Every structure is written in structure tokens, then in C-alpha cells.
Amino acid sequence: MPRRKPGSAWVAMSFAFLLVAFFIPCVCGAQSPQATEVVQASQQAQAGEPAGAGEPEAVGGPAVAGPSTKATVTVRVKDITRVYGVRDNQLMGYGLVVGLRGTGDSRNTPFTGRTLSNMLDKFNITVDPLEIRAKNVAAVMVTGVLPAFASPGDAIDVTVSSLGDARSLAGGTLLLTELAGADGRIYALAQGPVLSGAEVRPTVGRVPAGATVERHVAMDLLTPEGNLVLSLLNPDYTTAARIARAVCERFGEGAAVAVDGGTVRVDVPEWLQETPTPFIAEVGELEVSPDAPARVVLNARTGVVVIGGNVRISPAAVSYNGFNVSVGMSSGWQDQAGGDVMVQPLGPGSTVALEAGTTIEALAAALNAVGARPVDIMNIMEALRACGALQAELQIM
């Protein structure tokens, strides 16, 4: 067996080192462009620019709507209106919940014993209310909603609420209770086990499908003149006019008229007035583009800010908690967002400058960019509303 020369090992190691040194730049060079693209995309996202900004647009690529493009949303008439005269009805009754584990009403609630005594009289059992010391009974109020077009035999949910000093209704059973409407008539009967799983309100429970409808409530779909009246869920003059226009385009000129911002009157053909359901269904399927007033809703408890469309800001200046907001005084500021919003640190706080007439969405985005808290944004919007610069209705929840 031939003997290996001492220098052959060093030659093999040198050759392996050269191979590694040759492949490492190739691998790194193949990955570096991707890493660079990720960093650039991250920097563009932090700067508020879309990914791929500054690069030539690919031929045949998708068209992206700019900020000035206004999207039109169409909805069905049935989703934003209701038929006048078609409504739910509230029901209420008084009853007893039995089978409680010592968490019922005490003797400090005298009407519970009297109610139990009157109920036992129906079974020919006479008991003095003062002798009743049962703690497994609670007097309750039973409430429910009778839906429109409900027929006898339909089941509805009811809510059971303690009327006395019971500690909990969990595990109890509601005895047969009559549920009456505002006219005093009995429309449903409720009975069944009470579900009370909420520990924060153990004295309120539900009986799913616990009431059976006993009486039908007739609904007047049309007025005595034979007209269909649509009531807008969110009254608006523009939306009402668009609904009337859509009905006229479908059924002919003069088929509908917008009475006011919340009511649209539709003429029903005479041959359909006896059975107007198909006509109402066809009107409900018409599509319109609803309009809404400029409105800003603030939830002071959760810090949620909801901004409607068409909200604009007039020239004004607000200083609050280290934040300086300037509207209509943009000269001399450096544009950092590629649009109307310009932000520049100033001393201990930050200054947000916007052009006059800009949207409040731009203001909220700029304040978020400089680290404003939700309470800061709400207080600044309230200040803009107070000085008349916020051209919208401000609603605080």
C-alpha cells in the first residue's frame, strides 16, 4: 500500500476552503436582493408609501384607485327601509320562578307569598300568605317581543327578571305566565326552565323559545288610499329622493314621491292592492346608493373613533397636551406624507399642519403618526367642533 505524502492533507483542506469561499458570495448574492426589497417595503410602509412606490408600473397590471376616487356603494331598498305599519310588539307578564336552591325571595317581599297563595287556590289548596316561608320561589317580570307576522303556535324567547330580593334565578323553572300587549290582550303564554349563566346578573335569565304565540296581530301593509309607505332607518333627504327615483325608473314616472327625509310614498297598482306582497318584494330588491351626513362618533370609554364620509375641517389652530394642530397654515412646512398632511416636531410636542378643507381622516392619521393617544384625538376633535372648524356632527357615546 503506497504511503500518502504529508503535504496532501494540506492540499485537500486548501481546495475545500477555496470551494466554500467561492459558493458563499453566490448564495449571499442570490438572497440579498430579496432582503433589500423587504427592507424597502418596510421603510415604505413606515413612511406611509405603498410597496413598490417609485418603480415603473407593469404593463397590464391592476389599476389602483387614488385617494380622490370615491367608491359608490349600492344597497337594496329593503336593507335601509321598513314598511310603515309592519312592526314588532312588546309583551309583558308577571309570574313565579320555582325550584330555586334557597336563593328566592325572603319574607321581606310580601307579594311573593300572596302570589303563591293565590296560585295554590286554583288547585283547591288554601294557605295563609303569612305562613309561607319558602325561599325557593321568586316573583319575576317576564318580557318578550312578538315579531311581525307571528302566527299562533310560533315560539319566541322571553327574558325573566327578578322583582323581589332573590339572589339568583339559576336552576329555577318559570311557571305558566300570560304575556299581554299594550292593549291588555293575551298574545303568548310562557313557561320553562330559566337559563341564568351570567354571574354579574344572576337575577336575570332567559327562557329560549319559552313562549308560545296564541294570537295573530294583523299588519296593514298599505294605507287606506292604497299606497305603500317606506320609512328610512336613517332619515336623509338625498337617500329618500334616490329611492323615489329608483322606483320611478322601474315602475314609471310618478310611481313614487319622497314625502320628506324619512318617508317615501309608493303607488301600488290597483290589481295588486289585495295581495301586495310580490310588489313590495320587487320594490325592496331595487338598489340605490345611500347618502349620510358628515358625522364623527367618539366612544369615550373605549377610545374608538368612527369617522363618516364628507367630514371636512375649516381653517383653525388647536394646541393641546403638547400637540399643535394647524389647519390652513401649511406654508413653510415640509411635506412628509406625499399629500395634504405635514408633520414636523416642535419642542416638547409635535405640530400637525393640514391644508384648509382637508378630511378628518387625514387629521386622525397624522395624530396617530406623532404618537397621540385616543383621548388626545377625541379632545382635539371636540376643540375643533367647539370653535366651529369641524364641519360635521360630533356624537359622543
361-390: b (≥16 Cβ within 10 Å) or e: ebbbbbbebbebebebbbbbbbbbbeeebb
Statement to judge: residues 94 and 179 lie in one domain: yes
| Residue 77 falls inside a structural domain | no
90-109: average pLDDT? 93
Residue ranges making up the domain that contains 268: 227-288
- 203-234, pLDDT tens digit by residue? 999 999 999 999 999 888 999 888 999 999 99
| Residue 2 falls inside a structural domain | no
Distance CA 170, CA 191 (A): 15
| Residue 44 falls inside a structural domain | no
SS3 content of the chain, % helix, strand, coil (to 5): 25, 30, 45
Statement to judge: residues 93 and 209 lie in one domain: yes
Phi first, then psi, for residue 169 (nearest 5°) are -105, 5
DSSP β-bridge partners for residue 159: 143, 206
- Domain total in the chain: 3
The domain boundary, picked from 262, 288, 314, lies at 288
| Residue 336 falls inside a structural domain | yes
Statement to judge: residues 207 and 315 lie in one domain: no
| Residue 69 falls inside a structural domain | no
Statement to judge: residues 317 and 372 lie in one domain: yes
Statement to judge: residues 202 and 143 lie in one domain: yes
| Residue 21 falls inside a structural domain | no
Is pTM, for the whole model, over 0.85?
no
- 267-305, pLDDT tens digit by residue? 999 898 889 999 999 999 999 999 877 888 877 677 677
Statement to judge: residues 358 and 308 lie in one domain: yes
Statement to judge: residues 106 and 158 lie in one domain: yes
Closest CA to 205 of 142, 165, 159, 168: 159
| Residue 318 falls inside a structural domain | yes
Statement to judge: residues 99 and 197 lie in one domain: yes
Give Cα 182 to chain centroid, integer Å.
31
| Residue 165 falls inside a structural domain | yes
Statement to judge: residues 315 and 233 lie in one domain: no
DSSP β-bridge partners for residue 75: 288
At residue 72 the predicted structure's pLDDT band, cuts being 50, 70 and 90, is confident
**Mean pLDDT, the chain, integer:** 77
- 141-190, pLDDT tens digit by residue? 999 999 999 999 999 999 999 999 999 999 999 999 999 999 999 999 99
